[in-house]
Amino acid sequence: MKTDKQNNYDFPGQAEAPDYLRGVLEELALLHETDDLLERYQSFIRVVEKSLFYVLGPCNVTLWSPDSDNNNLIECVIMPQNQTKKRTKSLSRSVPPRKPCVLPLDSVVVRESLDSGRAYWIGSNNSEVFLAGRSPQDGLRTDVCIPLYRDYGKPLLVNAERAGGSETLCKKENFKSAVQLIEFFWKQLQATNQRQWLAEHDENTQALRAETFLEKSQSWADDLFRQDELFSLTVITVRGFRRTFAGNSQNWRSLCRQLGRCLRQCIARRQDSFLLGKMSDDVFAVLLPGKDKFLAETLMKAALEDVGREMTANLFMAEKDYVALESFWTTTDSRQYCGAIEKLLNDIYRRLFIGQEDSVDRVYKIMFGEQAGERISASCR
């Protein structure tokens, strides 16, 4: 028969072990099957909560990430499952998301955990059991912190605060096993996210692939149209692209990467929410919510001026013998929308590629070489 002391060291949820393991396997299956990024993160949170409860008892779990200077922790807010279950994907939410908390990174325990990459259960690291405790000067109330890393960007910190007033004991190997399971699930989440990202995005330009752009922009356009909100659609094409890069795929990929990333960055400086799609080698499409044709043209002109400055300053372009890069672009807005975003795109394509000068709204020319820095934006009409 076990003593009371031995019982204290058992898993708090040991009697529910079969249900716990079955639940973890179900969450792992959901992680690989769902196409919803939010649903995958919700699945990850449930595994974290179940795993920590299994070894430590009830805990309040939150996610944090250090800012660029490592001076503060920014909360990562994930909507509860009951707010997103069977919901229609919508650009605007009926309930605005909660604003993330920002706390100073003044906890010695948290900083050491992030620096070392080791999970920490506040208590004695040298004993056979970990006993919950908290330093009163810490800004973040922490009983457990687990740093999780990704290939790019700042790490994610799982922070847990013990719920209730009782102190819970657990065996060292049990806590380690829970951390290993959480780390494994995190790696699976990152791998799944990466696979989906590559399936939906062009890796060179980071723009959406044509099929994904059509699907997402159709959903956005429908939502905006129902809410009687404006949106615009712009298509940009590079003149003579195929002829210039025929037989030189390396230069083609380099220019595509530079143009697509510059375009995305320059639009993002002026518009928080937008979709950028790479429709073919030399064609990009941009959906801008909240903008009519006039406002969209103003934004795109300013963005292309930024693209021109960045492209002419780019070392890759300076080393090539390109005289100029000339882009044609045409914009339309929701007043011409008839329920099909693809029809709106086809109307723009006809204007861009019909071969008539009066069919194009704007031309933008970036000069390289000796004339680098000279940029021309003029109406073709």
Does one domain contain both 192 and 232? no
Residue 291 amino acid letter:
K
Instruction: List the pLDDT tens digit at each of the 381 positions of the chain.
Output: 444 444 444 445 554 677 777 888 888 888 888 888 888 999 999 999 888 888 888 888 999 999 888 889 998 887 655 444 444 344 444 455 667 888 888 888 888 888 888 888 865 444 444 444 444 444 678 888 999 998 877 899 999 988 765 566 677 788 888 899 999 999 999 999 888 888 898 887 889 999 999 999 999 999 999 999 999 999 988 776 666 666 666 666 677 777 888 888 889 889 989 999 999 878 899 999 999 989 998 898 888 888 877 777 764 554 555 556 677 788 888 888 888 999 999 988 888 877 555 545 677 666 555 444 434 444 333
Structure tokens at 279: 């429709």
pLDDT tens across 264-312, in order? 888 988 998 999 999 987 889 999 999 998 999 889 888 888 887 777 7
Residue 57 backbone class (left: φ over 0; alpha: ψ -120 to 50; beta: rest)? left
Q: What is the rounded CA–CA span in Å between residue 218 and residue 59?
A: 42
pLDDT tens across 155-199, in order? 999 999 887 655 666 777 888 888 999 999 999 999 998 888 888
CB 264 within 8 A of CB 325: no
Does one domain contain both 212 and 114? no
CB 51 within 8 A of CB 178: yes
Does one domain contain both 273 and 307? yes
Domain boundary among 200, 234, 269: 200
Domain count, the chain: 2
Domain boundary among 181, 200, 219: 200
Residue 79: what pLDDT?
67
| Three state DSSP letters for the chain | CCCHHHHHHCCCCHHHHHHHHHHHHHHHHHHHHCCCHHHHHHHHHHHHHHHHHHHHCCEEEEEEEECCCCCEEEECCCCCHHHCCCCCCCCCCCCCCCCCCEEECCCHHHHHHHHHCCCEECCCCCCCEEECCCCCCCCCCCCEEEEECCCCCCCEEEEEEECCCCCCEEEHHHHHHHHHHHHHHHHHHHHHHHHHHHHHECCCCCCEEHHHHHHHHHHHHHHHHHCCCCEEEEEEEECCHHHHCCCCHHHHHHHHHHHHHHHHHHHHCCCCCCEEEEEECCEEEEEEECCCHHHHHHHHHHHHHHHHHHHHHCHHHHCCCCCEEEEEEEEEEHHHCCCCHHHHHHHHHHHHHCCCHHHCCEEEEEECHHHCCCEEEEECC
Does one domain contain both 261 and 299? yes
Which residues lie closer than 8 Å to 173 by C-beta, 6 or more apart? none
Q: What is the pTM of this model?
A: 0.66
Does one domain contain both 227 and 290? yes
- Nearest of 292, 277, 295 to residue 345 by alpha carbon: 277
Does one domain contain both 141 and 285? no
List the domain range (segments joined by +) for residue 361.
208-379
pLDDT tens across 20-30, in order? 778 888 888 88
Q: Please tell me the number of Cα atoms within 13 Å of 203 on its side-chain side.
A: 5
Q: What is the mean pLDDT of the chain?
A: 77
Does one domain contain both 174 and 247? no
CB 224 within 8 A of CB 293: no
Does one domain contain both 217 and 351? yes
Does one domain contain both 170 and 261? no
Domain boundary among 154, 175, 200: 200
Residue 146: what pLDDT?
93
